[in-house]
Structure 1
Amino acid sequence: MKIKYTFLLVFSVALFTQCAKQSTPQGGPRDEDPPKLLEANPKDQSINIKPEEIVLVFDEYIKLDNPNKNIIITPRVKKDEVVTTALKNTVTIELNQELEDNTTYVFNFQKSVQDLSEGNPAENLKIVFSTGSSIDSLELSGQVNFYFPDKQSDFKNVLVGLYPENDTTDLFTAAPYYISQVDSTGQFKISNIKNGNYRAYAWNDANNSLKAEFKSEAHDFLKDTITIEENIEGAIFNLSQADLTPIRLLRSSFTNGSYDLILNKNAVDIKLENESLGKSIFYTKEDKRIRLFSDKSIPDSLAFKVKLIDSVGYQIDTLIYVKFPVNERKPEELTVTANSGKNFTGTMEAILSFNKPITKIHTDSLYIPLDSVRSIKIGPEMYYFEDSSMRNVLRLKVSIPDSTQSDVVTLTVADSTFQDIQLQYNLKELKANYRKIRPETLADLLAGRINNAEPPFVVQLLDNKDELKAEKKLIDTNNFRFERIEAGTYKIRVIEDRNGNGRWDPGNFFENKQAERIFYFKNPENSSTDIIIRGGWTNDGIIIEPSKPTGISQKKPVDNPSEDGG
């Protein structure tokens, strides 16, 4: 009986204990305390050691958040051989490689170690040790910016890296020797650097590869090697994107009425030379394709000089031979689109775009109805082709009478208004609306000056959607002015147009050419880039100070003894 009672007692206690383990306590304060490091092997600031693994012990159970990305190890190690695990309250990093002699290593855990219950990250968790007799202590710090920032600049994937001067790798080929994650404001610091010469880069590592993609990831670099023999502050990087693939002509052939040049990327400058160009032969440009059209078949080869330049300065300069045989296939349909929805004051400006060069315009079916009786016939004096060698973009300028009652006018394009070089007509009617606004609702003037920089400039007025509303090219002056502007919120962007080509040029790392500097007007009181414009206003006091260019703006001063020797 006693044995039976003892068994029941033990069974009851075990059952109660098991049930208690399975339940979750209700209520109570939320755990907001981060894990605290109790023990590290090796200890922080250790010297003369070459550990095979790093072991960290915390005061509570922990978990790891993406350790391959979030644990930054400098100098560079073979990260694909590193194995990081978390078990209960212990993190173990198996290195699986020989460390370099006389080298200071930094394991920066950032927010990768978190408590198991709430995900609170351990704070300021970093282990530094040296395989030699001293700890390297030099630092490089500074700021990373974006030339084309989003509404909220996101720095979570931005890295800054150092490569030794004699290293055969760079930001596009391998992870850097020293690396730092940029904080949420764009600031960075690389610490425990060994005295030496380095090349410095920054990039937006969107794919977490620890190196940059030269086609798709924004990046920047210091043009010159930097010597780090004291702490350096004020390193500036300005990130922008550039496809560094050299432009190439992939193939060329006659296809359904046009001779097509197929490219691997778009050209920003196109120069074609042939005596018939602009007379009987015209061209259009599409995405990675240039199309040549002839108004008649040409069985013999025609020589065309072709010079194409891409956005980073690479070019094609070649001679091609073009034929226009009789086309047996039905030509593609002629299409027309308009920049509908634009506002105007006295003169309506419309843009019509076509997929093929236009050879004839029937003006009788191109008009603007004003009311049930009146309309404006669009005559040849009201339009022109943007490029006579292309004839696929038609610009119209039409004065609208003040007596027009409606605020909205409709450009009407009847079917068969336009004929293209292949004798095809537009088959569909097009109606494009444009809104007339009252002059008194416009701001009279927005003007100012660019300080501490030299022209030429391209000054751009952007709306609150970052769409370009107006642009001024300044050749030999720092003063700009925009007149008759719609009320709204704007920002002013300035391109420091070093080569005077009227557009922004990205950098080319392989030619050691940095991107042209871009900067914005910032309100000196609150650093906002927004400028609010109201009807009837005049603001001619805008002062734009340029942002810091890529480079080292200052060095941290070395402590010197006082003059009295104290």
Structure 2
Amino acid sequence: MLDKLKNYILIILILALFIPLLLQSCAQMANPPGGKKDTLAPKILESVPLNKSKNFKGKKIELIFNEYVSIRNLNQELLITPSIGTYQTKINPKGLSITIDSTLKDNTTYTFNFRNAIEDASERNVGKNIKLVFSTSNDIDSLQIKGNVKQLLNQKHPENILVALYPWNDSVSINTTKPYYFVKTDTSGNYLLENLAKGKYYMAAFHDINNNLLYNSNKEPVDFITEGYIDLNKNMEQNFAISLQNQDSLKINKSTATVKTVLYEFNRGIKSIQLENAPKTNLYYQLEDNKNIRFYQLNQSSTDTLFIRAKLTDSLDRSYQVPLKIKFREQTRKEKVQRVELNFEVKPGLGKLLSPLDSIQIKFTKPVHQWVSNGLQFKTEEGEVLSLPDEAFQWNQFQNNLVIKNLYLPSRTKFELYINKNTFIGVETDSSNVYTQKLEWQDTENYGSIDGKVISAKSNSHFIVELLKADNFEPYLTVKTQNQFEFKHVEPGLYIIRVIVDENNNGYWDIGNFKQKRKSETVHFFESKIKLKANFQISDLLINVQK
């Protein structure tokens, strides 16, 4: 009897231990398997008004979708044309409502384009091309304008470029007038303006960076029609090629004075500088970042003030007479002016080979006040030490860039550039240190060449033909011509050829002027990328600029 009791107790203990584990295991096994993943985008189930409705006079727009949705960036994504002014939005689990603050216009077709604002709540599937179109009259406008927008200088097709349509009048200006109809480009640069009314319109495309529907020439690339207007009475196509066309006048943004320098910062690029009423013996200056002018003190008391006039030409070839006040900050008693080494950069750089047409360039961080030409020498492997005559050297306007001309460089395959200590003395009495760099001429068989012709219907045309690196559009070589072009001694690689129609023959690309309806100078590209191999010649390329 005692043994049976012990067996009962043992069974009870075993059950007490295993029943919870069994229940837990059963609970886990009871979980239902996951269903099929939702890949469908939300669709409109009901709307007020119905799509393509006529004679709608209400002030509240409602959308109900076939599933739970979330609304993302509605203010940026929702495009309403024509504009309805201000409105109030209410978000619901399966839709939204828009209450209009003002009365809709008579005889007008409205389009509510939600673009990427609507997505389902579970899997974030975006509803594409969700639109609501309705009219306040008996008719729905049905005309269309479609096209593509690209960037003029690199042919890329940007997304979210505003394509704008304005009711035409003599005074319409895209920087002060908001468009009546507008749309934004997709990821391929394509656009479609729908449900347009017949009439005369002006048209433009620009990158509306601040989303105010107004063109800002200071920072927004643009293109526009040059005609006074388009007379829209049938569907049409219109393409654009946008580029930055900053028309702001040249002005000083900021000036900063230190013990050693005075810096004037300008708002746009400067092409050339000439100083008037400036002491030629003790005032040095240089252009920095192509838009700022830095002046240096040389043998001049910091208490002196110079009043000079700068004749400046900006990047649009506009001339300015700008008065400048040059006064260096006085040095405090505790302040110590430290002298540092005069730094410079040699091109070609370390490890780079000289091409047969290369010169050597020495670029300094500041103007050079004095230098000794024979302090710069070349040493060859044969033990030769060569100094060059003065005509072998060419300084730029600011005395901060020295070119050693190709004609005077050693003909030996390998040689060394040697610069003695104190060969160059900077404007702040800082001097250069000893510098050596091994240089080597590249074998001409390691290069290739490219040549061709620009075809134009106009006689006496001028072109700027640029060979660009395909990966970053960085200019590699440039030729100015009227038809034939040739690029010699080109390193192997992948290239693009860009042709600028130099209409005024000034040697560079000119931007347009939206106020004068003058486009930027036309840019064309060779139809495909060019892969150049060593010791290989690509000939007779034809670039047609008549298109």
Match of 1:55 among 62, 66, 80: 62
Match of 1:367 in 2: 377
2:37 is the alignment partner of 1:37: no
Structure 2 CA distance for partners of 1:106 and 1:348, relative to 1, 3 Å: closer
| Contact 2:447–2:491, Cα closer than 8 Å, also in 1 | yes
Q: Secondary structure at the match of 1:69?
A: helix
Structure 2 CA distance for partners of 1:291 and 1:470, relative to 1, 3 Å: same
2:513 is the alignment partner of 1:485: no
2:384 is the alignment partner of 1:377: no
Q: State how many pairs are aligned.
A: 508
Q: Secondary structure at the match of 2:76?
A: helix
Q: Secondary structure at the match of 2:270?
A: coil
Q: How does 1:143-292 map to 2 (within 5 A)?
A: 143-149=148-154, 153=156, 155-166=158-169, 170-173=173-176, 175-249=178-252, 256=259, 261-273=264-276, 282-287=284-289, 288-292=291-295
In the aligned structure 2, how far is the partner of 1:113 from the partner of 1:491? 41
Bigger relative CO (Cα 8 Å, ≥ 6 apart): 1
Q: How does 1:511-522 map to 2 (within 5 A)?
A: 511-522=516-527
Match of 2:509 in 1: 504
Q: Secondary structure at the match of 2:239?
A: strand
| Contact 1:417–1:425, Cα closer than 8 Å, also in 2 | no
**Residue 104 of structure 1 aligns to which amino acid in structure 2?**
T
| Contact 1:200–1:225, Cα closer than 8 Å, also in 2 | no
Q: Secondary structure at the match of 1:268?
A: strand
Distance apart, 1:171 and its partner CA = 4.1
Distance apart, 1:159 and its partner CA = 1.5
Match of 2:79 in 1: 72
Distance apart, 1:65 and its partner CA = 2.6
In the aligned structure 2, how far is the partner of 1:179 from the partner of 1:428? 62
| Contact 1:197–1:227, Cα closer than 8 Å, also in 2 | yes
In the aligned structure 2, how far is the partner of 1:216 from the partner of 1:435? 44
Q: Secondary structure at the match of 1:381?
A: helix
Structure 2 CA distance for partners of 1:84 and 1:375, relative to 1, 3 Å: farther
Match of 1:138 in 2: 143
Identity %: 29
**Residue 424 of structure 2 aligns to which amino acid in structure 1?**
F
Match of 1:358 among 337, 350, 368: 368
Distance apart, 1:296 and its partner CA = 5.5
Distance apart, 1:300 and its partner CA = 9.3
Q: What are the ranges of 5 or more consecutive residues in structure 2 without an aligned counterpart?
A: 1-26
Distance apart, 1:337 and its partner CA = 2.4
**Residue 155 of structure 1 aligns to which amino acid in structure 2?**
P
Q: Secondary structure at the match of 1:344?
A: coil
Distance apart, 1:521 and its partner CA = 0.8
Match of 2:424 in 1: 418
In the aligned structure 1, how far is the partner of 2:120 from the partner of 2:330? 75
**Residue 347 of structure 2 aligns to which amino acid in structure 1?**
N
2:347 is the alignment partner of 1:335: no
In the aligned structure 2, how far is the partner of 1:301 from the partner of 1:483? 52
TM-score, length of structure 1 as denominator length? 0.79
**Residue 532 of structure 1 aligns to which amino acid in structure 2?**
K
Structure 2 CA distance for partners of 1:340 and 1:294, relative to 1, 3 Å: same
Structure 2 CA distance for partners of 1:229 and 1:207, relative to 1, 3 Å: closer
Distance apart, 1:280 and its partner CA = 6.6
Match of 1:463 in 2: 469
TM-score, length of structure 2 as denominator length? 0.81
Match of 2:129 in 1: 124
Match of 1:557 in 2: none
| Contact 2:258–2:328, Cα closer than 8 Å, also in 1 | no
| Contact 2:456–2:546, Cα closer than 8 Å, also in 1 | no
Moved more, 37-46 or 283-292: 283-292
In the aligned structure 2, how far is the partner of 1:83 from the partner of 1:339? 62
In the aligned structure 1, how far is the partner of 2:91 from the partner of 2:122? 14
2:320 is the alignment partner of 1:316: yes
2:322 is the alignment partner of 1:306: no
Distance apart, 1:146 and its partner CA = 0.4
Distance apart, 1:542 and its partner CA = 0.7
Q: Secondary structure at the match of 2:163?
A: strand
In the aligned structure 2, how far is the partner of 1:541 from the partner of 1:234? 34
Match of 2:545 in 1: 546
In the aligned structure 2, how far is the partner of 1:217 from the partner of 1:460? 25
Distance apart, 1:259 and its partner CA = 6.1
Moved more, 331-340 or 353-362: 331-340
Distance apart, 1:438 and its partner CA = 0.8
- Can you list the C-alpha shifts for 1:153-181, whole angstroms capped at 9, x where unaligned? 35222120112234977544564221112
Match of 1:101 in 2: 106
Match of 2:14 in 1: none
**Residue 546 of structure 1 aligns to which amino acid in structure 2?**
V
Structure 2 CA distance for partners of 1:171 and 1:84, relative to 1, 3 Å: farther
Structure 2 CA distance for partners of 1:218 and 1:316, relative to 1, 3 Å: same
**Residue 507 of structure 2 aligns to which amino acid in structure 1?**
G
Q: How does 1:395-410 map to 2 (within 5 A)?
A: 395-398=403-406, 403-404=412-413, 406=414, 410=416
Q: Secondary structure at the match of 2:478?
A: strand
- Can you list the C-alpha shifts for 1:322-377, whole angstroms capped at 9, x where unaligned? 78999999587543223343532346522112243324222343234434944443
**Residue 54 of structure 1 aligns to which amino acid in structure 2?**
I
2:111 is the alignment partner of 1:110: no
Q: What are the ranges of 5 or more consecutive residues in structure 1 without an aligned counterpart?
A: 1-19, 523-527, 549-566
Distance apart, 1:491 and its partner CA = 0.9
Match of 1:436 in 2: 441
In the aligned structure 2, how far is the partner of 1:460 from the partner of 1:116? 51
Greater gyration radius: 2
Structure 2 CA distance for partners of 1:73 and 1:251, relative to 1, 3 Å: closer
| Contact 2:159–2:189, Cα closer than 8 Å, also in 1 | no
Give me the CA root mean square deviation: 3.5
